């Protein structure tokens, strides 16, 4: 086996790594032995020279090394075949009520920088880091061998690639991929736009939270804010809602939601319109409107720790407005996908929103992301989604 370049950490900087967190930051490195190029495999050593882990290096990123293995094993085709097969096997262990789900979730599946989602017979992949992008051909070949997809589409359009020194782009990498793919979730079907849709086309991480609406919607008037392609709205209607109004700021999303309502024969009870949720909630309150169940699934209001205060104000505002539209017995299903907003801060914000809205609420259930987006203990960045179901007393 060829000699692997070595990177030594500063004294007492290995504790986080030993607990299983797979990142080494630029400021934690004491020295680099020899010349190391972007994406090259390196060994990490502690300050005394003891082996810690093996990963890939990138001088363009603040995260200089991302760990692939805690063993001195070759990072070759065999390595990636094993890791991909292990990730696939983990999903087969889950009883996923859908043919659309995440197959590889980056660090949580011990393949940092790789996202892989399955939509029926098609795969959507994201190569987010230099070390993974450099091995794209190997990974694509293995995906063809292990999963036999009809097509693989790349959604390499996330800003993290720019921080890694990589260009943005999208396109077919394997076979053929249609603009829209039809998938099943529970009893319903959805059109997913894998080429232009949010994330890789669908919010796969909210699957179980959508299905948690069962038993909450019977003969209820529902408002779904930030509805995107209508997944929450349609599940609510399917579970017995008398009417559903979906709001989204994107005309593209509203058009897709309307298509999905027609696909499931729910267009009579599901109506969608374009609008800013903040403005719409205020307008509905001024009109004296009321709802029995409100869904809030906003985009991340912050992607940095520095912006947490304005993000909290935004979250509090929409939750306060929603609570004002609910009467006694009303249900609020509310979410945050901002990693920097901790579960504790999320619940504290909801408590303050309820107090300011003059409502007392029970916390019925608290959820997180779907199990095909596993949370790896020791890596808090893999835990980002919060979902709470509240009932007005």
Categorize the per-residue pLDDT at 290 as very low, low, confident or very high, splitting at 50, 70 and 90. Answer: very high
* pLDDT score for 302: 79
- The arithmetic mean of pLDDT across residues 298-306, rounded, is 84
* pLDDT score for 250: 97
Provide φ and ψ at 87, rounded to 5°.
-65, -40
Q: Per-residue pLDDT for 252 more than 80? A: yes
* pLDDT score for 306: 81
- The arithmetic mean of pLDDT across residues 121-142, rounded, is 98
Q: Cα–Cα–Cα angle for 60, 66, 70, nearest 5°?
A: 150
Task: For residue 141, give the 3-state DSSP assignment.
Answer: helix
Cα four-point dihedral sign 132, 135, 137, 141: negative
Domains by residue range for the chain, with CATH: 6-69 (2.30.130.10), 77-178 (3.30.750.80), 203-392 (3.40.50.150)
* pLDDT score for 359: 97
- The arithmetic mean of pLDDT across residues 230-237, rounded, is 98
User: Where in the sequence numbering do the catalytic residues fall?
Assistant: 337
Categorize the per-residue pLDDT at 2 as very low, low, confident or very high, splitting at 50, 70 and 90. Answer: low
Please state, in angstroms and rounded to a whole number, the distance separating the CA atoms of residues 183 and 101: 10
- Name every residue whose Cβ is closer than 8 Å to that of residue 375 and which is 6 or more positions away in sequence: 108, 368, 369, 382, 383
CB distance 79 to 73 below 8 Å: yes
Residue-wise pLDDT for 309-351, tens only, equals 999 999 999 999 999 999 999 999 999 999 999 999 999 999 9
Please state, in angstroms and rounded to a whole number, the distance separating the CA atoms of residues 194 and 177: 9
Cβ atoms within 10 Å, residue 263: 16
Q: Cα–Cα–Cα angle for 20, 21, 27, nearest 5°?
A: 135
- The arithmetic mean of pLDDT across residues 246-253, rounded, is 97
Q: Per-residue pLDDT for 1 more than 80? A: no
Residue-wise pLDDT for 180-222, tens only, equals 999 999 999 999 999 999 999 999 999 999 999 999 999 999 9
Average model confidence (pLDDT) across the chain: 96
- The arithmetic mean of pLDDT across residues 46-66, rounded, is 96
* pLDDT score for 303: 75
Structure tokens at 373: 């987006």
Pairwise pLDDT comparison (269 vs 304), residue with the higher score = 269
Q: What is the DSSP string of 203-254?
A: -GGGHHHHHTTTTT-TT-EEEEES-TTSHHHHHHHHTT-SEEEEEES-HHHH
Q: Cα–Cα–Cα angle for 238, 243, 248, nearest 5°?
A: 90
């Amino acid at each position: 086996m060829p000699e692997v370049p070595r990177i030594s950490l500063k004294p007492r900087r290995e504790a986080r790594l030993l607990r299983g967190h797979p990142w080494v930051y630029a400021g934690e490195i004491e020295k680099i032995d020899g010349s190391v190029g972007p994406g090259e495999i390196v060994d990490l050593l502690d300050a005394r020279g003891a082996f810690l882990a093996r990963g890939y290096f990138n001088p363009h990123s603040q995260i200089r090394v991302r760990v692939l293995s805690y063993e001195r094993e070759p990072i070759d085709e065999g390595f990636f075949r094993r890791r991909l097969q292990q990730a696939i096997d983990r999903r087969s262990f889950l009883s996923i009520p859908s043919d659309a789900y995440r197959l590889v979730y980056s660090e949580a599946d011990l393949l940092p920088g790789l996202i892989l989602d399955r939509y029926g017979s098609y795969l959507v992949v994201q190569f987010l880091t230099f070390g993974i992008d450099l091995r794209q051909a190997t990974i694509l070949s293995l995906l063809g061998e292990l999963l036999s997809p009809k097509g693989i589409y790349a959604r390499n359009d996330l800003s993290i690639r720019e921080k890694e020194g990589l260009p943005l782009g999208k396109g077919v990498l394997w076979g053929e991929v249609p603009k829209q793919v039809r998938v099943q979730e529970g009893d319903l079907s959805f059109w997913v736009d894998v080429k232009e849709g949010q994330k890789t086309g669908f919010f796969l991480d909210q699957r179980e939270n959508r299905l948690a609406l069962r038993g909450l919607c019977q003969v209820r008037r529902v408002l779904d804010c930030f509805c995107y392609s209508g997944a929450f709205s349609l599940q609510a209607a399917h579970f017995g809602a008398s009417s559903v109004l979906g709001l989204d700021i994107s005309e593209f999303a509203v058009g897709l939601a309307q298509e999905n309502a027609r696909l499931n024969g729910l267009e009579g009870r599901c109506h969608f319109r374009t609008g800013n949720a903040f403005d719409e909630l205020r307008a509905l309150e001024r009109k004296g409107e009321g709802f029995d169940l409100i869904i809030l699934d906003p985009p991340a209001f912050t992607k940095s720790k520095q912006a947490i205060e304005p993000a909290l104000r935004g979250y509090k505002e929409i939750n306060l407005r929603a609570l004002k539209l609910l009467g006694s017995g009303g249900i609020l299903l509310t979410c945050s996908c901002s990693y920097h907003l901790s579960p504790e801060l999320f619940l504290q914000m909801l408590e303050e929103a309820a107090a300011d809205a003059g409502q007392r609420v029970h916390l019925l259930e608290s959820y997180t992301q779907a199990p095909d987006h596993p949370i790896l203990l020791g890596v808090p960045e893999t835990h980002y989604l919060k979902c709470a179901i509240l009932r007005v007393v």
